[in-house]
Structure formats: C-alpha cells, structure tokens
Structure 1
Amino acid sequence: MEDIKTFSLSRHSRLFSLSDNSRDYLFVQAVDHPYLEEPYRAESYAIAFLKEGGIHLRAGLIGYAVDAPSIIALGPSVIRSFRKRSDLMKMDILFFKDTFLLERYASLFFQLKHNFFENSDLHVLPLKDHYIARFKRIFELIDLTKSVANYHQDDIVRSYIFALIYEIDAYYRQYSSNSQTALKTHPLFSKFSVLLAKNYMHERKLEFYARHLYVTSKHLSSAIKKQTGKSAVEWINQSITLEAKVLLQNRTLTVSQISNMFNFSDQSVFGKFFKANAGLSPIEYRNKF
C-alpha cells in the first residue's frame, strides 16, 4: 500500500546516529537500541543478532520477550515496535532492500521461499548449540568487511546475507519438528490469521470470517477465545487499529481518507471505533507526533 509510511534506510541511519552512506543496506552494532514504541513499517528487510540482554518486540499483533542469544527476522510488511526489556542490550542488525539482495540473483521470489520474514510464528529464533557460534561468526565477518575499504564490499556483504538466510532456514528445518507453532497447536486460529491478514482493510464483520472458514460465528469466536485468550472480534479490531496507527503517522493522509480505506461509513464512525480501541481519537493520536 503506497500510502503507508515506512522507515527508510536513511531514517534508520539517523536513528542509530550513523552517517547516511546512501546504500541499499545498513549494518548497525547497537549497544542501546532506540526503543520505538509506536508501530511502524520499514522499507527494508532486517536480520538482527541479539548477543546480550533482552528486548520486547511486537510484530503485528504478536508480542515477544526476546532474550539473547536470538535471531530476529522481519520483512518490510511487518508492523513492529520495540520496548526496553533489560538494561543490558547488545545487538547487531543488518537492514537491506530486496533490490540489493537480488541485484545479481535470478529469482525474484527468493524471500518468499523463506517465510520467517513475514510469518508471525517465526520472527524470533532462540539460538542453541553450535548455531550460536555460526551466526556470531557471520556477523563478525560482516563487521570486518565493513571496516576495511574493498572494491567488492557490496558483493561480499550480499553473500553474507544469503548465508544468514540459509542458516536461519537450516535451523528451522532441523528444529521445527520439536517446536509448537500456532499452525500445529491451533489450526483454526492459523487459518483465521491468514484470512484476517488478507481482508482486515475492508472486512471487519465476524460473519465474513466465519463464513469463509465454514464455521458459525459463535463457534469461531469461542474457539479463538479458548485458543488465544482473545475473541475473533478483538483480533479483527486490533488489526484495524494497528494499521490505522501506522496510517495516521502519514500526515499527507486525512482522517477521512484513512476512514475510507477501512470502508467505514464516515469519519465519525471511524473516530469512535479508533478511540474505543486505542484510547485516543485519531486526531489526538496523530498529534502525539
């Protein structure tokens, strides 16, 4: 959606007090992460290696209490926010655009084959065994490559990104049989989540989701509540509210335009909905920025 505001690489550079090198990737060694508690999207992919301490991550509607050592993988479409979890925090982060990664790669669907960038079940990878040393070594090599001028620097960094993606994929293939994802434990919620992700911008009625999942509204609501602690309607409302928060940060959009994007009958109905779910009116939320 072209109207959704995203964090550019330049903005990430300023956020971490780095000079803007105008490249399609950015390597950051964060000692004290700037905790962005308001939701946002980024124009780039991100792979982060949490080396020490912890951080609170919210990706979409899912919250993670992330402790080191862990890998975090986020795609551009993922709405994310961060909160402080511990006083100690050391994390290496690699931001990169798909144009940079695929510049010399034939397949335009490479990232789609590795869905941990977009799958809410797979954003956080707690590391174990020899994988800790493997990821640590790759990030050390990236740091070494960035610290010394080299004609092939971009190509070398690109190769390390591919290595990271393959290592993450290998890790999941090795350990996925022992992990309990939402798909395995709550198949109805998993199907509901996929349907919700595709339709929340224009459908907020419970009946729509129940009909497409071939269950009654009552069954869907009670099953989702039992599985997750939140009703299906709460998931729908929170998805809309989260998206609305991101859109409201774009001042080129009027509240009326945002209301229309969600198919509300008028701006006042959207305003009441947003305040009931966010605790602030759309204008009050926008004025926070």
Structure 2
Amino acid sequence: MIELPLIDFDTLKSGLYIYDCYHDDILVADLNGQDVFLNDSVRVNALQVLLVLEGSIDLSIDYVLFQASVNTVVTIMPTHITKVMKYSDNFRGRLLAVSRAFLEQSVMPNHSSSMIQYMQIRKNPTALLQASEIKALDDCMLRLRQTILQTSHHLQRLLIQNTLMGFFIEMGNIFSERKEYNTSPSLTRKEELFESFLRILYMHCKEQHVVSFYADQLYITPQYLSLILKELTGKSANKWIDEALMQEAKILLKAPQATVQQVADALHFSDQSTFGKFFKKHMGMSPMEYRKNS
C-alpha cells in the first residue's frame, strides 16, 4: 500500500524565488505573489511559520479556512494538509520552514506550558500580533538567514540550532502574553465534538468513509453528528468525509509512481471503478484526466 506523498525541501524550494537554505533542514524565504499559487492541497514534512508583512492570504489548513492579514503569524505543523485559497495583490511575507528531523534535534519542548502552547497553536494556527511583535519575529528570521549564509563557520549547524532556538523563545514569549495560548480552551460540547471529529477524520478518512464510524467513535448518533456539523460549519458529515477523501485522492494522484488502482486501494475503495465514479462525481473528470491536467 502506498503512503500519502509529502512535499520535500527540493519541491518546496522549486516554487520559491528568494530564499536561503541549509541542506534540506531549514530555509528562510521571502514571499510575494510570484511565490504563491492557488494549488491543490499539499503536505510539507516540515514546520512552517509564515509572517504576513503586507496584504493578506487565505489558507485552508486541515480543511478549515483561515484568513491571515498583515501582522499575522501562521504556524503550520508538519504533515498538516494546506491549500492556498487566495491572496491580495500586495501580499508579502517571510517564511521559515524547518524539517521535522531538524526540529526534533533542535527544539524539544516538554514542560506543560510549552505543550499547552503547542496544542493551542495547532488548534489556532493564525494569530494577529502587534507590529512590534511581528518585527521581532522577522528580525529573528533575518538573523537565522545570516547564520545560514555563514558557510565557513566550523560549527555552523550548532549556530543555526541556537539561532532557531532563539526564534522559538521569542515566539514563546509573545504567545505567553496571550491568555488563550496558556489556558485550556473553553468549548461548548458541540465544539468539543467538532474538534474531536476533525482529529478522527484526519486519522481515518482514507479507510473509513461512512458517518456511522465517526459517530461511534464519538459515542453519538450519526444524525446528531450531522446536525452538529451542519450547525457549526454549514456542511453535513457526509460532505466533510467526501471532501477529506477527495483531498487525499488528489494528493495521491500527483504521485507519478502510483497507479490509479493503487490510489483506489490506498483509499480503501472496493475497486478502481467505484473510486473512478466517486472521483468523477466530485471533480467532473476521471482520475486519469485529473492526473493529466495536473
């Protein structure tokens, strides 16, 4: 069975014009309209931190829409599914991307306050900051870029790790001033169920296609689950499942080594024909036509 492909650093760099990179571990890039394109959902096996310096950008992160205007920081955790929905003509940003392996070697927060911040940032990937706070984070990114350029430094890797740690310390200090990132969120029962549904959907959408599975995991009826989702999001449970499954299908079809039959198997369809009918119903074209157009 094939796994969902992850965008690596080489692929990430191929879409950027101005960036500095240390091996395939960390990069700092300048973003504008040339570097941003409306694409299908992708996964990047790296932590990404985007500072919106001018304009605005709309992103779908794990199927939820987030709007980021000037002075917003966007934090995308490794393997999250993201999609650029739209951006303003004057959009400009700075991007930091750190591979999961380098991140684990460099920053391993384990005390409770750090974990609270981690969970809150994961749940709320966008935060509107003060202009001075964005500048502080941007200065840290620029210092990190300078360490990447110091290729003759005998301890460059350690220097980069320490500079990266400084960035996260600054980021942690900024978030520590915000109550919402240091206390458990106050959610209604319906919001808790919605959050749990998204987590289960992210983990199981490839093999579980029916509402009853997710309702059973949440100990509620399928009808009540659909009612909650319709009330909170305007979309039924079936719609959420189908959209998540389509995102996975489109990602898989972009892997040239995977046949349509392998994609159908990976997504637990009974056969290629059933998968093809499902895909055409939602995309208006067959999987092969989609692959050719992509």
Q: TM-score range by the shorter chain?
A: 0.7 to 0.9
In structure 1, the residue matched to 2:70 is 68
1:186-221 CA deviation, whole Å, 9 max, x = no partner? Answer: 112112112212211111111111122111111111
One-letter code aligned to 1:274: F
CA contact (8 A) 1:77 1:118 kept: no
The alignment-based identity, stated in percent, is 24
CA distance in 2, matches of 1:177, 1:252: 44
CA contact (8 A) 2:46 2:79 kept: no
CA distance in 2, matches of 1:171, 1:2: 41
In structure 2, the residue matched to 1:190 is 195
CA contact (8 A) 1:57 1:81 kept: yes
Q: Shift of residue 145 of structure 1?
A: 3.2
Residue of 157, 160, 164 corresponding to 2:160: 157
Counterpart check, 1:270 vs 2:271 = no
Cα gap change, 1:238/1:128 in structure 2, threshold over 3 Å: closer, same or farther? same
> What does 1:81-100 correspond to in 2, within 5 Å?
81-100=83-102
CA RMSD between the two structures:
3.1
1:36-68 CA deviation, whole Å, 9 max, x = no partner? Answer: 412211132211211111112121211222111
In structure 2, the residue matched to 1:133 is 135
Q: TM-score, normalised by structure 1?
A: 0.86
One-letter code aligned to 2:31: A
> What does 1:46-125 correspond to in 2, within 5 Å?
46-103=48-105, 107=108, 113=115, 115=118, 119=122, 121-125=123-127
Q: Shift of residue 236 of structure 1?
A: 1.0
CA contact (8 A) 1:75 1:117 kept: no
> What does 1:141-152 correspond to in 2, within 5 Å?
141-149=143-151, 151=153, 152=155
Q: Shift of residue 128 of structure 1?
A: 2.5
CA distance in 1, matches of 2:276, 2:4: 19
Counterpart check, 1:9 vs 2:9 = yes
> What does 1:249-268 correspond to in 2, within 5 Å?
249-268=254-273
CA contact (8 A) 2:58 2:84 kept: yes
Q: Shift of residue 2 of structure 1?
A: 6.2
One-letter code aligned to 2:187: K
Q: Which ranges in structure 1 are unaligned for 5 or more consecutive residues?
A: none
CA distance in 2, matches of 1:91, 1:71: 10
Q: TM-score, normalised by structure 2?
A: 0.84
In structure 2, the residue matched to 1:41 is 43
One-letter code aligned to 1:15: G
One-letter code aligned to 1:45: L
Q: Shift of residue 127 of structure 1?
A: 1.2
CA distance in 2, matches of 1:14, 1:129: 30
> What does 1:194-273 correspond to in 2, within 5 Å?
194-273=199-278
